[in-house]
Structure 1
Amino acid sequence: MKNKYLVTILLSSILIWACTDKKETSSASGTDSLAVADTTAINADTLTTNEPIINDVVKDTVLDNAARFIAGLPQLTENSFTALQADKYWKEYQTSMDANWDKMYKTRLSKMAAWEKSTFSTSIDDSLSLFYPFSGPDFLHAFYLFPHSKEFVMAALEPIREVVPLDTISEKNRDEFLDSLGNSLRDIFNKSYFITTHMQNDLKQVKGVLPPLYFFIERSGHELLEQKFFTLNEDGTEKEVKGSQIHWQKTPGVKLIFRDRVTLEIKTLYYYSISISNAGLNDRPAFVKFIEQRAPVNTFVKSASYLMHKEAFTKIKTIILKNSNHVFQDDTGMPYKNFKNKLEWTGQFYGEYIKPVKDFSSELYQADLDSAYKAGGKRDLPFSLGYHWSTKKQNYMLFSKAKLAPNR
């Protein structure tokens, strides 16, 4: 029976892959051959022995069912969300999310995926864990640039909250939840980044970063297996806590384990709701240890409001420089002077460098970076990702640590 189940799932996954080309929309259909126990809350405590065990991870099917509903994707088994798919508002939400996703995939994500495969992956060690500071809940672009990473570590101010059980609340509240989530995603669809002021309002309605994280994980072709809320011990190791207590913690985190529906590769995402300013990191040495324990890592920075150009964010720069083998960033990340003329770093320049958008001070213009671009050697960037979404004159830089000479 176990082998039959695995074969069935594998064949179903291959069909989904063929139809979607590494994306999933509501056009996917079909049912799994395995019946699962139904519950009414997104809570690990509701797991039963009927849940499938995948690489020693007990799959929380309730979690995955809820995540598919949130992502506007059809259920693959009969469960408490199946009937809710007939709701008029959910169908409208599904249609809207499909249209937005398809447009974004065609104009941005497909180009990123092709560039990653042909160019980017050959320039980095893509097996390393990915560190994504100032990320918000943007797992989406991290995955499309670093699809081979098995671990993603994200950190930002946006809060972590338990997701309300959408299959038990009123239809009115459920519709309001979906409406708020759709609003929170509008900037990602249209501009490729979250706007802080919009997020502060939108995430109040959907109760934190988990709904958009679910959305991106499911739409990028994965199934959620497990979710745990945690904080850190002094030595940087995880200490599980109840979801209802997560907002009391100094270093609140959520751990999501998920699996590619085609390759069956299991990945882990850590999201920390913390300040990574000097003051925030000085108050959380355990988080610094958590990053150091994963070194060397790849680091990705985009649309980061030029915070690392300020004196209040020098510590996070030190952490990145110390623990990263590769840093992929736009000009909103670390100033070019932090890499320029440093023997241990080599740089590759992509796209076009122009002055910061008008929302930011002209003082953030980097003449030395402009000179580096004009000196030649810049490479094409076939997609737009960042603040210059209207002109598509984006810049990205890949800084890599030089290989150390072997001992003689």
Structure 2
Amino acid sequence: MVRPLRIAAVALALLAAAVSSARAADVTFDDTARFLAGMQPSADSPLVPLTRDPNWQHHAKFFDNAFAQLEQRQIAKIRSWADVNLAAPRPTMFYMFSGPDFLYANAFYSKASTYVLGALEPVGAVPDLTKLPRGSVGAALYNVERSLGSILSFSFFITKQMKVDLHTNQVNGTLPILYVFLARSGKTIRNVEMVALDNKGGIHVGNDNPGPNATRGVRITFAGSDGEVRTLYYFSTDLSNQGARATGFLKFCETLGPGNSLLKSASYLLHSGNFTVVRDWLLANSATIIQDDSGIPLANYSAKQWRFFPFGRYLGPISEFPGRYQERYAELFTRAQPIDFGVGYRWRMHESNLLLSVRVPGSETAPAPETVSSTEPAPKPRPKRPRPPESVPPSSGRFFWFR
């Protein structure tokens, strides 16, 4: 009787060892994110041998330097600003026209438990990096660096370049960029799932059929240093009036609201008549909105429903967006408080504007905004004054930290 028990015990031990070995051989989501971010994966990760490649070591050094500078110049200052100025933030934050910009979503709303990002860029894929053809890992790392060049230098993605950069390699789309930002923000990725929304806003996972007009996305669960599990959604979606009405994206968002919203470097799309659906949705479902002047025009806010707190300096739009100067915005910013960081298209510290709009408690049922026009009224003639040099990066795609 003793011998069979010993045999069974040995068998169980061997089975446990085999399971443990199999788990050790898995490439986890978090290890993949750390590797792409130029950070050491876990000691037993199959990715460890790839970190001996000079290409990865150069990549790691490049990102160490770039993110250290960004943390000192902007991210730490934004977190400090948010800690002082954002009281009782909601658990959900919405970031429309975001691209894969979790970095600034987390900097402004670090206490959120659910992040919802929506933009046109595809979700993409991150395959098992250990199975890529020899020599292609270095190319993938270089492509990640190239994709991040503008946001690391200027605080925003350049849309035209993203259309090229995010389709270039087997490691493509927004997912690898989200991985890098999560890892470099000190997050640990627990799980990644491809999801889809049906036209009523219902969420489908795996092989579930979401039906026509499905909105494809990804759900990432992660934890910060406090161990609290949080969720990041990114959806590839058309936010124009036609797209917003045809899909269930805003209906899904409504189940998570009201929340806090961020609008940054949004190409002034919300100034046009073709994005009124998402603009009105944000005004109806946000408790606070942080934006630069490329977000919602001041004319579309109701003074009875919102309180405005301007920060920085308003110099008007850059030359790529003519006709978007707002007289009322300029008047509001005559009483702005200073900020010690740059953000948006005018990314230099003393040229940036940031508007914090806070909904008045109990105003959800207040009358509709007095002004609902999609564009700012034509400004009155104003004296010409010297304008500072344009601060948009050159279209050639050269970046301050681009190797």
Q: For the superposition of Structure 1 and Structure 2, which TM-score range results when normalised by the shorter chain?
A: 0.7 to 0.9
Query: Which residues of structure 2 form unaligned runs of 5+?
Result: 1-19, 364-403
1:78 Cα offset (Å) = 1.1
1:12-91 matches, within 5 Å, as: 37-39=23-25, 62-91=28-57
The one-letter amino acid paired with 2:222 is F
Of 133, 150, 153 in structure 1, the residue corresponding to residue 96 of structure 2 is: 133
* Matching residue of 2:291: 329
* Matching residue of 1:9: none
1:237 Cα offset (Å) = 2.2
* Matching residue of 1:350: 311
The superposition leaves residues 231-281 of structure 1 with CA deviations (integer Å, 9 ceiling, x where unpaired) of: 1234422101359x99x9731011000011x21011100101011000111
Q: Distance in 1 between matches of 2:124 and 2:116?
A: 18
**TM-score normalised by L of structure 1:** 0.80
* Matching residue of 2:12: none
The one-letter amino acid paired with 1:174 is V
1:391-402 matches, within 5 Å, as: 392-402=350-360
1:282 Cα offset (Å) = 1.2
1:346 Cα offset (Å) = 1.0
Q: Distance in 1 between matches of 2:317 and 2:291?
A: 14
Assess if the C-alpha contact under 8 Å between 1:300 and 1:327 holds in 2: yes
* Matching residue of 1:384: 342
Q: Distance in 1 between matches of 2:91 and 2:227?
A: 19
Does 1:360 pair with 2:321? Answer: yes
Assess if the C-alpha contact under 8 Å between 1:256 and 1:270 holds in 2: yes
1:151-162 matches, within 5 Å, as: 151-162=114-125
* Matching residue of 2:11: none
1:115 Cα offset (Å) = 1.7
Moved more, 157-166 or 216-225: 157-166
Local SS of the residue matching 1:167: helix
Q: Distance in 2 between matches of 1:166 and 1:249?
A: 32
Of 73, 90, 107 in structure 2, the residue corresponding to residue 144 of structure 1 is: 107
Larger radius of gyration: 2
Assess if the C-alpha contact under 8 Å between 2:343 and 2:352 holds in 1: yes
Assess if the C-alpha contact under 8 Å between 1:236 and 1:290 holds in 2: yes
Q: Distance in 1 between matches of 2:46 and 2:290?
A: 42
Q: Distance in 2 between matches of 1:113 and 1:347?
A: 20
* Matching residue of 1:371: 331
* Matching residue of 2:201: 236
The one-letter amino acid paired with 1:148 is K
Local SS of the residue matching 1:37: helix
**TM-score normalised by L of structure 2:** 0.81
* Matching residue of 2:148: 185
Q: Distance in 1 between matches of 2:344 and 2:22?
A: 42
Local SS of the residue matching 1:100: helix
The superposition leaves residues 161-204 of structure 1 with CA deviations (integer Å, 9 ceiling, x where unpaired) of: 22122111123111111001001111111001100011111101
* Matching residue of 2:72: 106
Structure 2 CA distance for partners of 1:329 and 1:35, relative to 1, 3 Å: farther
Question: What CA RMSD, in Å, does the superposition of the two structures yield over aligned residues?
Answer: 2.1
The one-letter amino acid paired with 2:272 is K
1:97 Cα offset (Å) = 0.6
* Matching residue of 2:137: 174
Kindly, what percent of the aligned residue pairs are identical? 30
Q: Distance in 1 between matches of 2:230 and 2:22?
A: 23
Q: Distance in 1 between matches of 2:349 and 2:362?
A: 40
1:176-255 matches, within 5 Å, as: 176-205=139-168, 206-241=171-206, 250-255=214-219
Query: Which residues of structure 1 form unaligned runs of 5+?
Result: 1-33, 41-60
Structure 2 CA distance for partners of 1:35 and 1:267, relative to 1, 3 Å: farther
Assess if the C-alpha contact under 8 Å between 1:39 and 1:62 holds in 2: no
The superposition leaves residues 50-93 of structure 1 with CA deviations (integer Å, 9 ceiling, x where unpaired) of: xxxxxxxxxxx611111111111002221210111101100000
1:238-317 matches, within 5 Å, as: 238-241=203-206, 250-260=214-224, 262-284=225-247, 286-317=248-279
The one-letter amino acid paired with 2:202 is T
1:132 Cα offset (Å) = 0.2
The superposition leaves residues 352-406 of structure 1 with CA deviations (integer Å, 9 ceiling, x where unpaired) of: 1111111111x100011111112x2x1121211111124641111111111228x
Q: Distance in 2 between matches of 1:278 and 1:197?
A: 22
Assess if the C-alpha contact under 8 Å between 1:128 and 1:296 holds in 2: no
Local SS of the residue matching 1:127: coil
Assess if the C-alpha contact under 8 Å between 2:342 and 2:348 holds in 1: no
Assess if the C-alpha contact under 8 Å between 1:70 and 1:214 holds in 2: yes
Q: Distance in 2 between matches of 1:310 and 1:235?
A: 26
